[in-house]
Amino acid sequence: MPSFDIVSEVDRQEVRNAIDQAQREVANRFDFKNTDSSIEQNELAITFRTVSEDRLQALRMLVEEKLVKRSVSLKGLEYGKVEEATQNTVRQILTIKVGISSDKAREINRLIKEKGPKGVSSQTQGESVRVTGKKRDDLQAVMTLLKGADLEIPLQFNNFRD
């Protein structure tokens, strides 16, 4: 029986490359001179530090541009609240969500049951959802359905088997 998996992942190397590019640009850009702005990455948590909230907004835009150029979806980004830091600076933490939570998996399963073609079933397997069906065309219809739905997480379809 044909099947495929729905997952939510990011290419960590592309994220690292985008952050490295952003750090180099911050070091060279005139509007970041003497602002003590920095971008630090720890796995999938990125910390922005700068002197004001407008510079913080500029840092966020810079990182988002670099991520988009590297084909990393912005749907998985989750910004923390802006915090006051030492020496009159502000700090914000950006986390990149990976994996499908149980709530989102339930929402995906419900969407497939309600709007998907007949004969297609889905089940949650850890942080992924396995979709099976009798026809390949039905599975492709499910992919199209999920791409059109606004689930607020980036979805990839892999492990397609006939």
Q: What is the mean pLDDT of residues 82-97?
A: 89
Judged against a pLDDT cut of 90, whether residue 162 lies above it is answered with no
Which domains does the chain possess? 3-8+100-161 (3.30.70.860), 12-96 (3.30.70.990)
Q: 20-54 burial string, b = 16+ CB within 10 Å, else e?
A: ebbbeebeeeeebeebebbbebeeeebebbbbeee
Q: pTM of the entire structure?
A: 0.83
pLDDT band at 149 (very low <50, low <70, confident <90, very high): confident
